[in-house]
A = this chain, B = another copy of it.
C-alpha cells in the first residue's frame, strides 16, 4: 500500500521540491529575516469528532497546531489564514462565532494577525485548513535535518497527556465542569494543546535540529533521523511522562506507550551539542548515533528497536 511519507518523498524527488519536508518551508524575506510558512489540515471524524469538541477549543487547536510548526523552527509567528468548510446545519448555529473566538484569542496572545482565508460549504463534515506565516533570522531556521552524531536529545515538556486524553474521549468521557479534575486535565491536553513558541525561540540559538511532537515521539524522532541520516538512542526511564496519566493507568509500559506513540503533545523534540546542554531547563532523553535511521530504546538494560508507531494518515 502507498504510504504517505513515501508518496511525498517521491513527489519531492520527481519535481525537485527541496523546500518540502520540514515543519515549515523557509523562504527568503529580506536582508535580515527569512519567511517561514506552514499549513495543517484538520478533518472531522479523522482528526477530531464533533461530539468531543467545544467549538472554542477547536478554534484554539486549529491555530495551536500551526503555531507549533513555527515553534519547531525557532521562529516568531506573524500572520495566519484560515480555510474552513462547514455543513449547512452547523453554519446556522453559534459554532463559527465560538470557533473564531477561540482561534482569535490565541492569535492575540501571540500577536498573530489573521489576514485571509476561505469559507466553503460542505455536505456534512467540518474541515479546517490552518495556515501560518512567521519569521526567523536569516539562515537561522532550525531544521529537522541537521542533527549530528553525538548531539544530545531533549524534549521541552512531559509527554503522553494528549494521548491519554484521547483515550478518555474514546471511552466516552467528555470535558465538563462535573468531571474529575485529572480527567478534565487530560482531555484538555488533547483538545487544547499549547504551542511551545517561547521555548522554540529560546532554543533557536543552540538547537542543532528541532521538530514538534505532533505524530508521536517514536515517529517524530524517526523523522529527525531520516532527514539527518543519523540514528538515535533514547532511554525509557528518561522519557518525561505526564503525571496525570496515572489516573488512567499505573502500568509503566502503557504510560510509555502514550508518551512514545500517542502524539499531539506539541512539545518540541530537539538536539544540542553536549557542550550546550548543561543547565537546560528541559528533559534529556538520549543521544544521536551513527546508525543511520535506526532508533533504539534502552529499557531495563535491553536495547530494543523503536518502530515509528505514531500517527500516520495512510
Contact = CB atoms under 8 A, between A and B. Distances in A.
Contacts of A27: 78-79, 115, 133
A178 to B, nearest CB: 32
Contacts of A2: 91-92, 96
A300 interface: no
A8 B83 CA distance: 12
In the complex this chain forms, how many copies of it are found?
2
Contacts of A91: 2, 314
B118 A37 contact: no
Nearest to A10: B97
Interface in A26-52: 27, 29-31, 35, 37-43, 45-47
Nearest to A25: B115
A121 B30 contact: no
A17 interface: yes
A18 to B, nearest CB: 9
A104 interface: yes
Interface in A89-140: 91-92, 96, 100, 104, 113-123, 125, 127, 129, 131, 133
A58 to B, nearest CB: 15
A121 B79 CA distance: 27
| Number of chain A interface residues as a range | 35 or more
Most chain B Cβ neighbours within 10 Å, of A7, A85, A133 = A85
A77 to B, nearest CB: 13
A122 B120 contact: no
Contacts of A116: 19-20, 24-25, 37-39
B88 A129 contact: no
Nearest to A40: B118
Contacts of A313: 119-121
A206 interface: no
A4 interface: yes
Contacts of A19: 79, 113, 115-116
A104 B20 CA distance: 14
A141 to B, nearest CB: 13
A40 B82 CA distance: 10
A285 interface: no
A168 interface: no
Contacts of A38: 81, 116
Most chain B Cβ neighbours within 10 Å, of A17, A83, A91, A96 = A83
A131 B39 contact: yes
A91 B46 CA distance: 15
Nearest to A7: B96
Contacts of A1: 92
Given A46-B123, A115-B25, A131-B131, A81 B39 contact: yes
10 contacts: A2-B96, A7-B96, A17-B114, A27-B133, A39-B83, A39-B117, A43-B123, A45-B123, A46-B123, A83-B129
3 nearest A-B residue pairs (beta carbon): A30-B30, A25-B115, A129-B129
